[in-house]
Structure 1
């Protein structure tokens, strides 16, 4: 049985209130049915182990940071991608997916920016720059190259809070846990042109396991 993240405690307590009230009112059958609600909420916060939660992932591989379905894979979208040349993979998480997020690429955290915003449906294009979100950038030195990967936690229509558990200066391993998003959301990953994208739209991906991109060319000077 997977562990349950600590963020589950307050949400599960609230969800358990109707069952408790029904039990106090002398309605045990109703209470038994209502008890399914806190169980479902707790299941949302499940935190399963994933195989490459270590520093043994090939240095050229970029892993999925979230469970879900690829909704876009291609060049960086205008108004979505950071400034510069990027390739983009956007992943939609339904309420039934595991919502623990993982670092797509290991390295030193050089930027963490949390931005307030709206709660538009995460599959909408404008959600990437209008919704509440957290942007994280990691850098990694490989030989004489400095590689940079940018990834973004974005809340959705149901998700109302991003939990980011990394800070500038942290050293992350590829696939390491970095936080979570509550109740259905989206994650974007941005990699430079020197990477080949290995996923397609509509494909299911698994956080910390599915390889979504791979470095195939050296980083250009000044990139």
Structure 2
């Protein structure tokens, strides 16, 4: 059980990497921007690839009526997500420690993983809803108006994962370093449960 608990502690601690590295990345590629534009999505705000990327993205979006990128204080998620992630990391470490000293069973590792998975799915749903509003809720007085073949307004929503051609840009979304560490951490907690289950069975 000590091996399983150690894995649980390591897996939970990896969530803390999100306070250092970005959770998600959105990149824009176009011929007029050979180096591309992009932003890192952190738990507590947005950061451009370079100093002027966010400003340049907002400048482009102005012509098509998209909203400006939110500042940290303009979205409740940037205040709540650090608390949730930090709390889950600490909770997971405590669960692992209690398992290490034999106070709880390996089942608690699974309970933590289920809760973290539910919170993660809710977070992705919220992120996708924000991107939908960001790409579809356009200023009717925009300088440039683009419509679909059926006459409906064109959506500039970036993909949640993968790539999408948006006019002459290609938008690419993928996990950042913190998101990768988060995935590895959750996978390790599942391994911890399996190791604990196997040890308990013996």
**TM-score, scaled relative to structure 2:** 0.28
- Larger-Rg structure: 2
> More strand by proportion, 1 or 2?
1
User: With structure 1 as the length reference, what TM-score do the two structures score?
Assistant: 0.26
